[in-house]
A and B are shown apart, each in its own frame.
Chain A
Amino acid sequence: MWRYVARRVLQAVPVFLGTTFLIYAMVFALPGDPIQALAGEKPLAPSVVHALRERYNLDDPLLVQYAKYLGGLLRGDLGETFDGQDVAGVLAGRWTVTAQLALTAWLFELVVGIALGVWAGLRRGRLADTLVLGGTTLVIAVPVFVLGYTAQIVLGLNLGWFPTAGTDDGWPMSYVLPGLVLGSLGLSYVARLTRTSLAENLRADYVRTARAKGLTKARVVGRHTLRNSLIPVVTYLGVDFGSLMGGAIVTEGIFNLPGIGQQVFESIQLKEGPVVVGAVTLLVLIFLAVNLLVDLLYGLLDPRIRYD
């Protein structure tokens, strides 16, 4: 198995180089002049424009800019934003927020999603099943900003159960509401996947055999059915973790959480290459790591799967 892990880690190196270059090139290709955009309606003196263009290597061709960026990266320097902050510091601040938000949402998906799925799967065709299927369909159909603003106004403003926005109250209070909103879509998919997969496996031959052996229902479901039923669910949870990290722009905006999604969005508008590359590359690396973990989990969940 360790050889397998090592091979996967090595594969990450070309992926890393590829993504950094691709993203750098894409930001480079964006239209607009970031320096002029800095000053808004006011004119900038030519000397200032020159000084700023030189500071951010904006006059170099793409490959030179990229080489300078990689050179900095090797020295541990991730570059500078147009307002003069170190990219490393910016990303560190943003990542803590994003990590807390994504983990909260992910926990909702994992705990509530699987619980609902099992509940419905064991009661296939009955009221509980219908409720879960109907409820999750509704959640999937409603756009996230509608959910977000509704939750914010009702649970935050009117009922006052949670802070309306911001990070002042820390984890978990500040993150419960946005986590729930962000995780609601994934939660629905997880519940439906678990339900279907469990319900299907419950009809398999080995389940009948287990039952015939006289095993308790809890053991049949818990040990013999749920574990392998979770394989598609784990795959989904793994992939979704990545999108929770990077795709939370709307939720972060509504709940005023200064996370990575907002930063990438702003930096794309400003053409801040180093920030976009730094943030997205980290996303890609996390995505790769989570996927590797998922692949390894398969073996634990289903003893029939081997690595070589």
Chain B
Amino acid sequence: MTSRKGATRRAAGFCAVLMTLAVGTAACGGDSGSSDGTFVAGHPEPDHLIPSNTTSSYSWDVTDELFENLLGLDENGNLVEQAAQSVESSDQKVWTIRLRPGQKFHNGEPVTAQSFADAWNYAAYGPHGFQGNDYFSQIQGYADLNPEDDGAEPEADRLSGVKVVDDLTLQVTLDAPFSQFKLLLTHPAYAPLPKVAFTDIKAFDNKPIGNGPYMMDGSWERNRQIKLKVFPGYTGPRKPRNKGVTWKSYASADTAYTDLRAGRIDVMQSIPAAKVSEARRILGDRVLPRRTGTFDYLGFPVFDKRFADPDLRRAISMAIDRNGINKAVFDGTYTVADSLLPPLIKGHRKGACGELCTYNPAKAKQLFDKAGGFSGTLELYFSNAQPSYEQWMQIVANQLKQNLGIQDIQFRKIPVSDYLSMLRAREEKGPYRQNWEADYPSAQNYLEPQFHSAKNRMGWTSREFDDLIAKGNAAPTEQAAIGYYNQAEDVALREAPMVPLWVWQGFGGRSDKVADVTITPYATGLVAHEVTVK
């Protein structure tokens, strides 16, 4: 439908009268397509617009355009300097960051080293209750801001490891060497904040002022939309090729998809799974398949002695037909796991998982018998967040029955709000669904938080694994780090406290009004500044 905005508006009242009388015959305008150089993207409502006070990717959809970090990622996961001119370290522990001069916030305030230090200190200070607090836990002094004991007063309100050397130089000292720090810096939580943010943080959340290529056009219209326009004072590498973007909120993805078909939104990052095949038919090449780093695993309660034998865990893993489930439940679109890392991560090795991830009922049964079998009820845990979890768990259960002869299998479908607290409290009595999406594209971010002896949920301990991660974290080059991480991965695959299943596949969509739509698999999602509008 062509754009005829004014006419549509005027005709609207008339049409309504007609329809109330139930004699509607005229076509009353339905499109809101505009050709003012801006485009509309649809997604669920964000919870905050301060990037360090959220863990919602829908918030980061917007804050990515409003704010600019020191470093960013290109669509292949390579580091790109944004607000920083250089980030260097000789020992992976003390990092010197130099800012590109002449940058400004949307209100004209210069972006300085202090802007970053203030933002990080604020977010890292426990009593502020910021959701992104944990992203700062590797910086020296974090513990002083976040006492372990309930209700204890923090000893400090500034991170001792963050030092402002001069206006354009920042020095960050970490607790331990961390070779992936540059990747961590790309995380949205590490954005700078202007001084005005701290005078009234709540008001700032409604109309944030950042240093990114776009600025707020009006305030956040809750549950409706957030309008962004180009910030004329922007000097960074992400120069917008359009005039602005409006993020419209949808309570239902199905409705957003209908609006995409109707041309009322131009970009949608996730078409609901049930609509993908229809969308491919109707939208054709306007469906945008996109890689993701979202990974499903099956974790074992290794602390439970029934699951303590690695052979039993291997047997269960090898009794699962991952390809069959992919075809049956995900229409064959997912990528079956061949490693603990998704293919888009540097350090992913094809076939690293080997036999463990290969469907082999005979070998599985043999290992199962060698481990002494399994007695009692096998309980399978998953949350009720999506119906597909139950679908594939049922297939897993059938395969375990068939291939291993476990007769008594029960499902434990847990409300999503309880699921993680249950796992954290180690209350599960059987294999459980684990899902992971990296904060930054590094092998370390898939391995350390999920498998490190002090952090994992399985109750698995391996000094060997921990040491290799530490070595990787201290490695001077990317290549060396990946080498250690791969060795650590091999340890985890050998012992199989948690086995990989598959990597998700996403499908976005666009209208015919926009082109050059790229959706990255990272926290930043849509590359808004590259989108061109007809």
Contact = CB atoms under 8 A, between A and B. Distances in A.
Contacts of B223: 93-94, 258
A161 B256 CA distance: 18
A253 interface: yes
Interface in B405-453: 415-418, 420-421, 424, 435-437, 439
B183 interface: no
Interface size classification for chain A: 35 or more
A173 B15 contact: yes
Nearest to A155: B24
Contacts of B202: 84
Interface in A143-178: 149, 152-153, 156-157, 159-169, 172-173, 176
Main secondary structure of the interface of B (DSSP, over half): loop
B55 A40 contact: yes
A161 B19 contact: yes
Nearest to B17: A172
B339 to A, nearest CB: 20
A74 interface: no
Contacts of B258: 152-153, 156-157, 164-165
- Give the interface centre of B30, B56, B134, B149 by most chain A CB atoms within 10 Å: B30
B251 A258 contact: yes
Contacts of B147: 47
B12 interface: yes
Contact of A166 (B129, B133, B248): B248
A83 B32 CA distance: 31
Contact of A258 (B32, B133, B224, B264): B224
Contacts of B74: none
B378 interface: no
Interface stretch (A4-12, A28-36, A190-198, A274-282): A28-36
Interface hub of B130, B133, B223, B264 (most chain A Cβ within 10 A): B223
A50 B133 contact: no
B250 A47 contact: no
B171 interface: no
Contact of B1 (A40, A47, A160, A253): A160
B36 interface: no
A52 B128 CA distance: 8
Interface string A125-152: 0000000000000000000000001001
A160 B31 contact: yes
Nearest to A257: B251
Interface string A22-58: 0000000001111011111111111110111011000
A37 B55 CA distance: 11
Contacts of A210: none
B415 A176 contact: no
Nearest to B437: A41
B251 to A, nearest CB: 5
Contacts of B24: 161
Given A46-B149, A84-B202, A254-B255, 16 more contacts: A41-B436, A45-B126, A45-B137, A46-B148, A47-B126, A47-B145, A84-B205, A90-B222, A93-B222, A152-B255, A157-B262, A165-B264, A166-B248, A173-B16, A253-B251, A258-B222
26 contacts: A32-B415, A32-B421, A33-B421, A37-B417, A41-B436, A41-B437, A42-B55, A44-B131, A45-B126, A47-B145, A93-B223, A156-B30, A160-B1, A160-B27, A160-B30, A161-B15, A161-B19, A163-B30, A164-B255, A164-B258, A176-B19, A253-B252, A254-B252, A256-B249, A256-B256, A269-B417
